[in-house]
Chains A and B, each alone.
Chain A
Amino acid sequence: MLEKRDLILAIAVIVLGATGTYLMLPHRHGSAKPRRVHLIGAVLAGLALLLFATFWRAPASAISSLFFYAFSLAAVAGGLLTITSRNPIHSALWFASVVLSTSGLFLLAGAQFLAAGTVIVYAGAIIVTFLFVIMLAQMEGRAPYDRAARAPGRATFSCFLLFWALFYALLIVRVAPHPKGVAIDTDNERLVRSGEIASSYGLKADHPARLISELARRDTLRMDDISKRPKPHVAGLGEALYTEHLISVELAGTLLFVALIGALAIATPKLPIRPGDPRPQPLTKL
């Protein structure tokens, strides 16, 4: 169970974070808040963030942990600034920083493909689309509905309630540092990681659970090529995608197709003109 010190710290993170976020959010009617309020909010939220950081467990090596803290702090702070900034373009750019920091974390966790994919898809495509839409939709700029926060109090409350629930649930989960030789914990604080099921429970080679976990779980990092050398990470991923997930990949293609058709059908308000249709009458009164 949770120690008292951890519990108090966790409550402090939630309370400070919620207060700070609420103070930093734009006004309900879109008017500017005094600078002092913003400053207090930023200090409180920053304090909460630092306290939150005490719960994180960084990777072992010093340089990795330096990057880990930098990326993590940047991600959470960027997320906060995304929702609190009053200019939609700034929000989009802060969101880009969140995405970049997250892909840094992916990289630290050894998921190179995911990191690259996140940067390419989100930072490269989606956020650029956001920026285009914002710029094209508001050429005169500064619509009041963009600058106002709707129900900031209720939004902050429900979001931090959810955060608290997740935080509390995950706080007591501990990943065993050295699974081999460790006796099986019967308490519920231990997360058995995917590759460790057989070794962690000491399953014999013919135990059905071991058989199933080997059948169902394909570790793309550990796959060997023909000469029994480990494959590059992305090759393993590609192999998994185009063997066991082949059908899902093909279906995702169908999904993209119907999304494309949908975008075409929804974006044009006029009825589609097909070959053989009578030509639309040219406008005479121009």
Chain B
Amino acid sequence: MDPNVLLTTAVKPSLVVLLPEILILSVAVVMMTAGAFVRQPRRVWSVSAAVALALGLLVLSLTGKTTTDLYTSVALNDAFSHYSRLVLLLSGFILLGLAHDQVDDARAPEFFGSLLMIVAGSMLVAAANELVFLFVGLELVSIPTYLLLYLAVRNTTTQEAATKYFFLSIFSSGLLLYGLAYLYGTTGGSNLKALAYLAGPAQLPNMPQPQFGLIALVFIMAGLGFRVAAVPFHFYAPDVYEGSPTIMAALLAWIPKAIGFLAITRTLTAVISAGSDSSLLVAKAVVLAWIIAAVTMTLGNAMALLQDNLKRLFAYSSIAHAGYLMVGVAVAFYNAPTYAPGTTLYDAPAAQSDFFLGTEGILFYLVAYALMTLGAFGIFIALSTPERPVETVDDLAGLAREHPLTALALAICLFSLAGIPPLAGFWGKFQIFSSAFGAATTTDAPTFQLLAVIGVLNSAAGAYYYLRIVVGMYLRPPLSNRPPLQPRPAWPTRVAVAACVLFTLIVGFFPNVVSAPSRTAAESAVALPRPLPPVVEEASAR
């Protein structure tokens, strides 16, 4: 194709779609550069970060209708991309609210610049439709994360945590790149929608090459499994969470997990499951995701039962939640919308409205997970003071007597994490497990039922350690040997926590607010319309 035509048809629409990210990134770059030359209090930097996010939100809503060509452009603006970017951007506000006073004045510009870059990078991953672009987006999250881990507090434990995360993250990026190279090798194209089309509706035999596809599957799953902290790549999580400041633990519990699952959806489930459901590759992918899901849930919950340190507990809890989300991945490999045999095209997924799609469950669960986890971490941040840090379960004993409202908010987050109806976490688990049951009803796949049963048993076991905290807050007296909690959170922290708790309740009582868009998004993630012939614009070219 003529490069000029390519620039106008593929690159320019992508640039328009990516305007919010470009805006946020440029503010971040300006902040980091200016930080070396001007001295401003922390407030200035955090306010400019908030302004950047607000502008990004504005531009994102303005460019909502822009579309790009699916098979040539690097970024998409389909429902999946738009929905995930909106969620990530809004969670950026919550993170900023929690982080606004967690750094000293001297390091504020780098700190808030990195935070903006992480939000923008995660949005790029959600929009990515091309392997190189996706990888750059993932790294645009990883590298500022290393910087943040080092910046927030500097002592030997933080440095150990940061170094551990750094090396393992680099290693996982290597694994991921190796897998992406094989995925590229199966067709020689790096456009993910084109890959999916050639793998699925084109119905070419032996495409993608199964051996290459298998290697790609295993290595991409390994590389992204590190980011979502799935077994056997989970072992860094407890140490890193415990060693880093609470705000970093909150960030690590949410952003890498979200982008990990979004990238799995973009590169694996949407590509591989586009083939017929009897193909060798899909069968192996289901088995792989099945095993990872079962082991991750079980190990995460079992280890969380033994923890007294809150950050370690939440690290194992985040591992367990990665397991529940992996159930969604296993199902998503399987119950992608099928197309009628004999036809090589489909414009919209076949009607499968009876049960939930795996990807739909993942998207819903991610929103619920963000609200409840960020809410819980936010309360720990709000309660902690330098004289009286909140680190163990015992530190929260008797919280309800002195701070009933805070205790209620934490209890709502914990109930939601435990999956107690009618809160957001319950509907997330419900959608994922019922998608597993739904996949089993259409075909003879009893294994999904077993997986759903393992998941339900696990969430029952998981409820124990969340409820233990609630019991401690409401029924135990405060520890006599420690000074009373005297939290003095600033208003942005309060607003962020309140938003998390309120939305947990709202999504719990009106799940359709999130459910309907996540359904549309899940359908658009696998939509492969008929390709348009290349536009020949010889006459109009100057």
Query: Using a CB-CB cutoff of 8 Å, which residues 325-363 of chain B contact chain A?
Result: 344-345
A185 to B25, CA, bound (A): 48
Contact between chains at A217 and B204 (CB < 8 Å): no
Beyond A192-B209, A248-B132, A265-B150, is A272–B3 a contact (Cβ under 8 Å)? no
A188 to B207, CA, bound (A): 9
Give which listed residue, B74, B189, B205, B534, contacts A186 with CB less than 8 A: B205
Which chain A residue has the least Cβ–Cβ distance from B218? A165
| A130 interfacial by beta-carbon distance below 8 Å | no
Q: Which residues of B contact A150 (CB under 8 A)?
A: none
Contact between chains at B197 and A212 (CB < 8 Å): yes
Q: Which of B110-118, B441-449, B459-467, B475-483 contacts A (4 or more CB under 8 A)?
A: B110-118
Contact between chains at A251 and B124 (CB < 8 Å): yes
Report B242 CB to chain A, min CB distance, Å. 21
Contact between chains at A261 and B113 (CB < 8 Å): yes
Give which listed residue, A191, A201, A243, contacts B212 with CB less than 8 A: A191
Beyond A251-B133, A252-B136, A275-B37, is A244–B6 a contact (Cβ under 8 Å)? yes
| B206 interfacial by beta-carbon distance below 8 Å | yes
Contact between chains at A262 and B39 (CB < 8 Å): no
> Which bracket fits the contact residues of B?
35 or more
Give which listed residue, A212, A218, A258, contacts B114 with CB less than 8 A: A258
Query: Using a CB-CB cutoff of 8 Å, which residues 306-326 of chain B contact chain A?
Result: none
Q: Which of B28-36, B394-402, B501-509 contacts A (4 or more CB under 8 A)?
A: B28-36
Report B445 CB to chain A, min CB distance, Å. 23
Q: Which of B138-146, B257-265, B364-372, B383-391 contacts A (4 or more CB under 8 A)?
A: B138-146
| A93 interfacial by beta-carbon distance below 8 Å | no
A186 to B113, CA, bound (A): 53
| Total contacts A-B at CB 8 Å | 179
Q: Which residues of B contact A262 (CB under 8 A)?
A: 143-144, 146-147, 150
Contact between chains at A188 and B147 (CB < 8 Å): no
Q: Which of B9-17, B45-53, B485-493 contacts A (4 or more CB under 8 A)?
A: B9-17
Q: Which of A71-79, A100-108, A112-120, A168-176 contacts B (4 or more CB under 8 A)?
A: A168-176
Beyond A274-B35, A274-B36, is A254–B209 a contact (Cβ under 8 Å)? no
Q: Which residues of A contact B188 (CB under 8 A)?
A: 193-195, 197, 217
Contact between chains at B187 and A209 (CB < 8 Å): no
A214 to B194, CA, bound (A): 10
| A211 interfacial by beta-carbon distance below 8 Å | yes
Contact between chains at B197 and A265 (CB < 8 Å): no
Report B119 CB to chain A, min CB distance, Å. 13
Give which listed residue, B39, B72, B144, contacts A216 with CB less than 8 A: B72
A145 to B386, CA, bound (A): 38
| B122 interfacial by beta-carbon distance below 8 Å | no
Which chain B residue has the least Cβ–Cβ distance from A256? B143
Report B533 CB to chain A, min CB distance, Å. 6
Report B31 CB to chain A, min CB distance, Å. 10
Q: Which residues of A contact B212 (CB under 8 A)?
A: 173, 191
Q: Which residues of A contact B154 (CB under 8 A)?
A: 269
Q: Which residues of A contact B533 (CB under 8 A)?
A: 206, 211
Contact between chains at B202 and A186 (CB < 8 Å): no
| A60 interfacial by beta-carbon distance below 8 Å | no
| B153 interfacial by beta-carbon distance below 8 Å | no
Which chain B residue has the least Cβ–Cβ distance from A242? B3
| B225 interfacial by beta-carbon distance below 8 Å | no
Among A187, A247, A259, A262, chain B packs the most CB atoms within 10 A around the CB of: A247
A269 to B159, CA, bound (A): 11
Report A244 CB to chain B, min CB distance, Å. 6
Residues of A at under 8 Å CB distance from B? 166, 169-170, 172-173, 184-188, 190-195, 197, 201, 206, 208-209, 211-218, 239, 243-248, 251-252, 254-255, 257-259, 261-262, 265-266, 269, 271-272, 274-277
Residues of B at under 8 Å CB distance from A? 1, 3, 6-7, 10-11, 14-15, 18, 25, 28-29, 32, 35-39, 71-72, 74-75, 104, 106-107, 110, 113-114, 117, 124, 130, 132-133, 136-137, 139-140, 143-144, 146-147, 150-151, 154, 185, 187-191, 194-195, 197-198, 201-202, 204-207, 209-212, 214-215, 280, 344-345, 530-531, 533-534
17 contacts between A and B (CB under 8 A): A186-B205, A208-B202, A208-B531, A209-B197, A209-B198, A209-B204, A215-B194, A217-B187, A243-B3, A247-B11, A251-B124, A251-B137, A262-B143, A269-B154, A271-B107, A272-B36, A274-B36
- With A188-B211, A258-B28 given, name 6 new contacts (CB 8 A): A194-B188, A208-B197, A208-B530, A214-B534, A257-B32, A265-B150
